[in-house]
Structure 1
Amino acid sequence: MERRLFVAAAAALIVAAVLYSAWITGQFTTPAVDRTDGYVSELAARDQPWTRLFRVSDVLSGLACLAAVATLPRVAREWAGWLALAAFGLLTVVSGLVPLDCAVLSDPACRGETVSHRLHMVAGALATTAVLTAMAVLSARWRSWVSWLFTGLNVGATGLMLAALAAGRLAGVAHRIQLTMVAVWVVYVALRLLVHDDEEAPCGPPHVLDQGAGPGVLITAGLGGAWFHWDAVAAGLAACHRVVRFDRPGLGLSPPATDRPTLYGEVARLAALAPAQPSQVTLVAHGLSCWHAEAFARLHPLCVAKLVLVDPSPPPVRRPLALAAVLGAWLPALGGTWGANVLARLTGPPAHRLVTGMGDPFGVYRMGKVPAAVAGEWLARRDMAADLRDIRAGHPFPDIPVTVLGAGGRDARRQSLAARLDAKLVLLPRSGHQVELDDPGAIVDAV
C-alpha cells in the first residue's frame, strides 16, 4: 500500500507542475501582458480576459501540491522540506484566490493600491521563499547532485528575477525562467518518488506492560484506548495479581498492523498474552474489546477464569460492507502519511482530553497511526459482529463467573448481554468520562 501512496503523491505533483505551467498558453491568449517585462501573474489580473482560467489553474495547482505532501508516507528527518513544499502549495492557492487588480508592469496606468493586490505580491514572494527552502532542505537530505543542480538553477533564476526588477527591464523573461525551473524541479521530485525503493518494514510486536505477581489478569482497552488509561486499575491489582496490559496494533505505543483488524486475530492476540495452561486468566475488557473477550472465552474456555466486561458495546446487526474492507486495508498505510500525522498533532490531544478528561503524557495521540487504527477498528465492527454471532452459534459459553459493569441507568442491551452470559450486572453512577478513569476501584472489586 505504501508503494501506491508514493505513486499517488508523484501523480499529484505532476498535475501540480502542469497546472502551474498554464501560463505558457497565456502568452498567446493575453497579448496585453508584456512577455518581456510583465509578470506571469498579470495573466490572472482581474482586468484580463482569461483571469478566471489562470486563477483556477493556480488554485488547483496549489491544492494538488498539498494533496501530494499529505498523501506521502512520512520519512524521518524530511519533515522540514515537505512542510516548506506544503507552504508553497498553500501560498499558491492564496495567490489564485487574491489576484492582482491589473497588469502592474505591463500597464502604466495600473496603481495596484488595494489590499488584494498587495496580498498577492506578498503571497508570491513567500511562495518563492518556501519552494527554495523546500529545494535546499530536501536536497541536503537526499544528497543528490541532480537535486542540488536544480536547486542551484532555481536560486540563479530567482536572483536573475530580482536583478531584472531592480534594473526595470526583462522582469517578464526572468519570471518565466524562474517558474519554469520550479515546475521542472517539481517534476523531478515526482520522478524521484516513482523510483523510490520501498522496503516495507515488518510489523513489530505489540507494546506490553507486565507488572506484579500472582493470578493473571489481562486487560484489553476499548476503541482508541491506551495502556496508561488503566494505570489506577493496574496499581490496585498488582499487589496480589500479575497484571498484563497491551496496546493493539496502531494504538498506544504498538506499531501499526499491515492488515485490517479481525475478531479472530484479536482472539489470537489474547491467547498469545494469556498465561500458559493450566493457569487461567481473568480477562478485563472495555467497550469494543468485550467482543474479543467473549469470543476468546468461547474459543478457549480452559484459559479463562473470569470475565469483567466494562461498558460493553452491543454488536451491530447490519451486514458487513465491502467498502469498509477496502478502506480498512488502506488505513494502516494512510496512518503513516504526513497528512495523517499533521491531522493527529492538531486534533489528537484535544480530542483525547475531551473524551477522557486527561492529558497525553506520552504523546500517543499526536501520532497519525492512532486515528488510522481507531478508524480501522470502527470500520471492522460489522465484520467482527458477524464473526461473533457465528462463534456464539457454534461454541457454548463456559461456566465461568462474569461481571458486567455499566455506567448510568438500566439499558436493555446491557441487560440482554448479562442474561445471555448469566452475568452479574453492576450499575455505577454516570461518570464524566470512562469507568476505568473515574471509578477504577469498581473494576478492582469486580476482579
Structure 2
Amino acid sequence: MERRLFVFAASAFIVAAVLGSAWITGQFTTPAVDRTDGYVSELAARDQPWTRLFRVSDALSGLACAFGVALVPRVAREWRGWLALAAFGLFTFVAGLFPLDCAALSDPACGQRAISYGHRVHTLAGALATLAVLAAMVLISSRWRSWVSWLFTWLSLAATLLTAAAHADRHGVGIAHRAQLTMFAVWLVYAAVHLLITDDDQAAEHGSPNWAGQGPGPAAGPTAGAGAGGADGYGPPHVVVQGAGPAVLITAGPGGAWFHWDRVAGDLAGSRRVIRFDRPGLGLSPRSPTPPDLYAEVARLAALAPAHPEQVTVVAHGVACWHAEAFARLHPLRVAKLVLVDPACAVTRRPFAPARTAGRWLPALGGTWGATVLARLTGPAAHRLLTGVPDPSGVYSMGKVPVAVAGEWLARRDMAADLRRVRAEKPFPDVPVTVISPGERDGRQERLAGDLGAKLVRLPESGHQVQLDDPEAIVDAVLAVPGSDLAPWRNT
C-alpha cells in the first residue's frame, strides 16, 4: 500500500501541474489579455469570458498539490519543504476563489475602478504562493541533492526575478510570468517522477514491514523499546515490564496507551510482574502493515504472556476485552484470571466490506504528512479533552495514532464476527472473571457477566476511563482471592 501512496501522490502533483497550466489555452480563448504585458491571472478576472474555467482550474490545481503533499510518506528532516509546498497549494486555491476584478495590466481602464476585497486577496495569495513554492523548491532540493531539481529551482528563481523586474518596468510581464509558471509546473512533474523512481528507498526509511508480534515473552526490565523500525515505521511493539511475581498482562482500550495505566501498574508492581504494551500504531508501538484482526491480537497476547505452565492474569479495557476473552477460549491453560473493564458489546451487524477495504489503506496512511499534520493539530487537545491527563511522550502528536484508532474502529464488525465464531467453537474455561461496569446499569455487560460466570462490579460514580478515575477497583479485582468478596460496597 505504501508504494501506491507514492503513485497517488505523484499523480496528484502531475494533475496540479496540468491544471496549473490551463493558461496555455487562454492564449487563444481570451485575446483581450495581452500575452506580452498581461498577467496570466488576468485570464481568470471577473470581467473575462472564460473566468470560471480558469478560476476552477487554479483552485483544483491548488487542492491537488495540497492533496499530493498529504499523501507523501513522511521522511525525516523534509517537513519544512513539504509544508511550504502544501502552503503553495492552499494559497493557489485561495487565489482561485478570489479572482481579480479585471485585467489589471491589459485593460487601461482597470486601474480607474475601485478595487474590491477579493482583488486584494488574490494579489496577496498569489504573492504568498510564489514565495511558498520557491521556498519548497529550495528546501526539498537541498534534501534530495539532485542537480536536476536544483536546475529547475534556479530557473524558477530567475524567472521570478525577471517577472518582478518586468513589473517594475511595466513591459514584458506576460512573457516572464508565463516562463515562471512553466518552471513551477515542470518542477512539480519532476517531483512526481522523483517520488516514483525512489519509492523503494523512501519506504525503507520506515523500517521493514514485519510486525514482530510473535516470539518469546518480554524479559523482565523497565522498558522494551519499539524496535529498529521506530515508532513511525514497522517493528516489534513497545512493551513496559514492572515488578516481580505472578504475571499480569494489561491491554488498553481504544486509542489507549501504556501510560494511562501507570497508577494501576504502580500499585500492582509490589507483588506482581506487570506487562503493559501498545497495540500497533498506538502509544509508542510502530505501525502494522495489516489492519487489526482478532486472531492477530490473540497471538500478540500469547506472545507477551509467560510461557506455559505459568499462567497470566489479563486485564483488558473496552474492545480489548474481546481479545482477552478470545485468548482465554483459545489458550485456556495459560489464563489465571480475567478482569474486563467496561467491556464493549460484540455487535451482531454484518461486516462492512467498504470498511474492510479502507482498513487495508489506513496503516500506510499513518506514515504520511497528512496524518502527521492532523495529529499535531487535533491529537493533544482531543486526548486532554477525553482523558484529562497530559501526554508525557507526545504520543498523540504522531500521525500513526489517529489512523490506528480509525483502523480499530473500522475493524470492530469483523472482530465481533470472529469473536462470535470463537464463542461458538470454543467453550469458556473455568477461570475467575471480574467484569467492571462504570456508570449506570448496562444490561449488555450484565448479560456478558452472566454468560462468563463473572463477578459483576458496578462503579456508579466512575467514568469510562476507570483506570484513571478508579484504579483501586482494578487492583482489587486483580488481587482478590477467588471465592472471596471483592469490595462488597462496590458490588450490585
Please say if 1:94 is aligned against 2:94: yes
Superposition deviation, residue 258 in structure 1: 0.8
User: Retained in 2: the 8 A contact 1:356–1:433?
Assistant: no
Task: Give the corresponding residue for 1:401.
Answer: 432
TM-score by length of 1: 0.98
Task: Give the corresponding residue for 1:54.
Answer: 54
Deviation sequence 1:389-430 (CA, Å, 0-9, x none): 111111111111110001122211111000001000000023
Task: Give the corresponding residue for 1:322.
Answer: 353
User: Retained in 1: the 8 A contact 2:247–2:275?
Assistant: yes
Please say if 1:169 is aligned against 2:200: no
Q: For 1:16-415, what aligned pairs fall within 5 Å after superposition? A: 16-111=16-111, 113-198=115-200, 199-200=203-204, 201-202=207-208, 203-415=234-446
Question: 2 CA distance for matches of 1:390 and 1:124?
Answer: 59
Task: State the AA in 2 paired with 1:380.
Answer: A
Task: State the AA in 2 paired with 1:130.
Answer: A
Superposition deviation, residue 113 in structure 1: 2.5
Select 2:466's aligned residue among 418, 435, 443. 435
Question: 1 CA distance for matches of 2:75 and 2:367?
Answer: 9
User: Retained in 1: the 8 A contact 2:159–2:176?
Assistant: yes
Superposition deviation, residue 299 in structure 1: 0.9
Superposition deviation, residue 167 in structure 1: 1.4
TM-score by length of 2: 0.89
Question: 1 CA distance for matches of 2:464 and 2:163?
Answer: 59
Runs of 5+ consecutive residues of structure 1 not aligned to the other structure: none
3-state SS of 2:134 partner = helix
Task: State the AA in 1 paired with 2:122.
Answer: H
User: Retained in 2: the 8 A contact 1:355–1:433?
Assistant: no
User: Retained in 1: the 8 A contact 2:438–2:463?
Assistant: no
Deviation sequence 1:65-116 (CA, Å, 0-9, x none): 0110011111111110111110000010111111111111111111262222
Decide whether aligned partners of structure 1 residues 433 and 426 sit closer, same or farther in structure 2, where only a CA change above 3 A counts. Answer: closer
3-state SS of 1:49 partner = coil
Runs of 5+ consecutive residues of structure 2 not aligned to the other structure: 209-233, 479-492
- Matched length: 447
Superposition deviation, residue 433 in structure 1: 4.9
Task: State the AA in 2 paired with 1:396.
Answer: P
Task: State the AA in 2 paired with 1:331.
Answer: L
Deviation sequence 1:326-364 (CA, Å, 0-9, x none): 111111001111111101111111111121111211111
3-state SS of 1:320 partner = coil
Output the aligned Cα RMSD. Answer: 1.0
Task: State the AA in 2 paired with 1:16.
Answer: A
Question: 1 CA distance for matches of 2:402 and 2:149?
Answer: 34
Superposition deviation, residue 432 in structure 1: 4.1
3-state SS of 1:75 partner = coil
Deviation sequence 1:274-328 (CA, Å, 0-9, x none): 1112211111000000001011111111111111000000101011122222111
Question: 2 CA distance for matches of 1:326 and 1:204?
Answer: 23
Task: Give the corresponding residue for 2:10.
Answer: 10
Task: State the AA in 2 paired with 1:408.
Answer: G
Task: State the AA in 2 paired with 1:176.
Answer: R
Task: State the AA in 2 paired with 1:352.
Answer: H
Question: 1 CA distance for matches of 2:82 and 2:341?
Answer: 43
Question: 2 CA distance for matches of 1:324 and 1:215?
Answer: 40
Superposition deviation, residue 228 in structure 1: 0.2
3-state SS of 1:31 partner = coil
